Structure 1
Amino acid sequence: MLELLLLQVLVSCLWLGHSEVVPSFKSPCSQVFYMDTPPSDSLNPTNAARICQFYDNKYRFTTLYDRNNRIPVYSAYIYKPGHGDRSDSWFVEPQLIKHNYRRDMDTEDSIIDTYGITSADIGKSQAIDKDYSDAQGLDRSHLCPSGHQSGDDKKATFTLTNIVPLYSTLNQGGWRNYEDKTVAQKTQGCDKTYVITGAVPGNTYISDGRVNVPSHIWSAACCVKGTTPIKAWGAIAENDKSSNYVRDLELWDLEQILSGLYGKPRITLFRNSCAKA
């Protein structure tokens, strides 16, 4: 009986140690969510993958990934901008290919060499580098931006499971201004800021229908002083090649808009709406 118990403990430890694609966000990467609580299940797609983004032996941020549309639903992270180098390569997620593959994000070439598979095998479950090579007028837009991270956390944002195709006019204009300037201003006085940035699936695709082009990109933040939430906000923009406008919103208004866009009941992004108890 004791041997069986020890075996069960060992199996559990191995599961936790090698789980990058996890059954739930309760562990091991729930700390990126305010009060360890992810958004409501209303955002979950049919074929979802929950990814604890793992790079260089450390969990970095979290992504809910839509395998069917091959874009993230959202990425959640803690805002901590600082110095660090960007990655020269794009990564993919080995455990989206096969669960017993290693958990560290890696380049396509490295995974192909290690497991003797092809780019087509990798692309069955996620976007690959080739999908974006002919995307005219569209940028690879980070949901967890490298500019909101520091050290090696910056490099970890260069996984294609953290990327959506965003029109250059928006990505390099209004949305960049929101990421670089607006967020920096709004986080003044915050000891910690929890951020969730997502994309609403659209009706068009790139790469012969493989990768969805979102209709909107959105972001929400919860600012905490000590252990007390002191403010929250949201932003949303239409992903249109002629649009460069980002709407600054109250958190509640953003949640209402998202409920309409996703066609789902009440969407909650932060526990207790990031409000004082």
Structure 2
Amino acid sequence: MEAAALLLVLCALACPHPLLARVVGDDEDGFAECNVFFKDQSPPEGFGGPSRVKICQKYNGEPRFATLYSTENKIPVYSAFRYREAAPSQGEGWLLEAQLDDPENAAEEMMEEAEAKESIGELGLHQSLNEDYTDPNYQPFTLNPGFLNEGDYQRATYTLTNAVPVPQSFRKSWSLEVGHIVKEALVQQCENGEDLYFVTGAVPSDETVNNKIAVPESLWLAACCNTAEAWSMGFIQKNNDVKLESLSMEELKKHLPEEVNIFTNPCGEGTENAQQSKVLETINQRRAEEAEEATGPFFRFIRFLARVVYGIVKTVFYIVWFFIEQIFNIIAGGICCLWDGAVSYLLAISGVLGTIPIDIIRVIGNILMGCVRTINNVLTVVGMILRVPLRFLLDLGNFPYLTLCAIPTVGKEIAVGVFGSLGLLIDSIFSLTGSSYSVTSFACNRFLQRLPGFSGGSDE
């Protein structure tokens, strides 16, 4: 059973997984099944509007994070997620949400732009497209950072409904700062990140990319450690700045254009505790170390070489990993095919073996019926052979009995015949005598009538 389960897992890994998302209706509570990414399942308040759409981002059929998307600015207002595990970004391709431009579309599956163009007429009317990011000064960047997720959760972040256009310099500084703060400070001070809730947002500016996508004025991050001693912190970075600013939640709200409440249920706002102080201490210590490392041309040269080596190693690693992944997919696919063939063969053999007892019983029944018919035929022949002498012997044995029994009957018949013959003889004699008498009487009468002088009346 363990081997079968392992093979099924390998088959699942070798096959592509669907990236899913769905637009949440206004009649549904919050973000529906994606409410689990908010503290106490309560989404932020104050971010609503006619051009805001709630999206429950999924991967492989499971919720991964929630996004409030602006169809006017073509960028997300915010994305909410839980901390899982940081991992290097894989640089996956960007996908689209079909229901934004086609509300009647029943498909909840995110799709590639080329595929969406075939089924949606006004594609890009309410969302950004890959072709909109043609400005070399801006690149799409995941608002829910892909580098703070791993596996399925990271793959789910690569959708344009979770992307904002940022300069390359901002992208690097934000990723570096947020990555270190989350992994080295927030996670360490919040029980290894098991109770961390994050909301990341973008403040739009008047600048656009291709007169369509709003360039963020700043990106912000709100973190809530939902433990017994709950505490929260905010971070914000301007588009033209390379420094991430640490703020309290009250201060962060002042930088947002709307009157909002990010954590609707209080998460330690307005209070200070030891964890917050340690987070700020970790951030300041790291920045001091970076500043110390950055001083002097020698250290800058060493850092440059380190980045070059890191880039080369990273590229080689990705190339090796690509070939390993392809080999693994080929092997896993072969194992899946072999497994399917083995299962089909075993099922066929099981079907054949299952009919053997029935065939054996049928053969035994035919043999017994044949034996019964043979015995019946033998007895019939023996009976036919013995029937003639038995009948003769029976007739011979019955002859004396039948003969003796027939004597009275024969004697009776003879007596009846004799007495019958005597009766007939007597009747004949009497009949002859009567006839003779009648003839004689008639003759005499006729004779007397002929005599002369004899008158009639002689008959009397």
Which piece of structure 1 moves more, 180-189 or 78-87? 78-87
Given that 2:31 and 2:54 are in contact with CA atoms closer than 8 Å, whether structure 1 keeps it comes out as no
- Which residue is equivalent to 2:186? 186
Q: Cα gap change, 1:21/1:233 in structure 2, threshold over 3 Å: closer, same or farther?
A: same
**Deviations along 1:139-193, whole A, 9 cap, x unmatched?**
21211111111211111100001011112211112x1122210111222142221
Deviation at 1:257, TM superposition (A): 2.4
- Which residue is equivalent to 1:9? none
Given that 1:193 and 1:224 are in contact with CA atoms closer than 8 Å, whether structure 2 keeps it comes out as yes
Tell me how many residue pairs correspond in the alignment: 242
Deviation at 1:87, TM superposition (A): 5.4
1:43-122 paired onto structure 2 within 5 Å: 43-82=47-86, 86=90, 88-99=92-103, 100-113=105-118, 115=119, 117=120, 121-122=122-123
- Which residue is equivalent to 2:199? 196
Deviation at 1:230, TM superposition (A): 2.5
Q: Larger C-alpha radius of gyration, 1 or 2?
A: 2
Please give the alpha-carbon distance, in whole angstroms, between the structure 2 residues aligned to 1:34 and 1:237: 24
**Deviations along 1:127-150, whole A, 9 cap, x unmatched?**
000011x22322212111111112
Is 1:37 aligned to residue 30 of structure 2?
no
1:201-212 paired onto structure 2 within 5 Å: 201-207=204-210, 209-212=211-214
Deviation at 1:43, TM superposition (A): 1.9
- Which residue is equivalent to 1:164? 164
Please give the alpha-carbon distance, in whole angstroms, between the structure 1 residues aligned to 2:31 and 2:175: 31
- Which residue is equivalent to 1:176? 175
Which protein has greater RCO, CA pairs closer than 8 Å, 6+ apart? 1
Runs of 4+ residues deviating >6 angstroms = none
Which piece of structure 1 moves more, 104-113 or 194-203? 104-113
Given that 1:57 and 1:104 are in contact with CA atoms closer than 8 Å, whether structure 2 keeps it comes out as no
- Which residue is equivalent to 2:338? none
Please give the alpha-carbon distance, in whole angstroms, between the structure 1 residues aligned to 2:69 and 2:176: 26
Given that 2:197 and 2:223 are in contact with CA atoms closer than 8 Å, whether structure 1 keeps it comes out as yes
Higher strand share: 1
Is 1:273 aligned to residue 266 of structure 2?
yes
- Which residue is equivalent to 1:11? none
Given that 1:87 and 1:154 are in contact with CA atoms closer than 8 Å, whether structure 2 keeps it comes out as no
SS in 2 for 1:178: helix
SS in 2 for 1:152: helix
Which piece of structure 1 moves more, 179-188 or 93-102? 93-102
- Which residue is equivalent to 2:371? none
Gaps of 5+ in 1: 1-17
SS in 2 for 1:28: helix
- Which residue is equivalent to 2:277? none
SS in 2 for 1:183: helix
SS in 1 for 2:199: strand
TM-score normalised by length of structure 1: 0.81
Q: Cα gap change, 1:187/1:251 in structure 2, threshold over 3 Å: closer, same or farther?
A: farther
Higher helix share: 2
- Which residue is equivalent to 1:6? none
Q: CA RMSD in A?
A: 2.1
Q: Which amino acid aligns with 1:251?
A: M
Given that 1:71 and 1:164 are in contact with CA atoms closer than 8 Å, whether structure 2 keeps it comes out as yes
Deviation at 1:229, TM superposition (A): 5.2
Q: Cα gap change, 1:236/1:84 in structure 2, threshold over 3 Å: closer, same or farther?
A: closer
Deviation at 1:271, TM superposition (A): 2.3
Residue 216 (structure 2) aligned to one of 192, 214, 225: 214
TM-score normalised by length of structure 2: 0.50
Deviation at 1:45, TM superposition (A): 3.6
- Which residue is equivalent to 1:13? none
**Deviations along 1:30-61, whole A, 9 cap, x unmatched?**
00000111111x22243111000122212211
- Which residue is equivalent to 2:128? 127
Q: Cα gap change, 1:152/1:136 in structure 2, threshold over 3 Å: closer, same or farther?
A: same
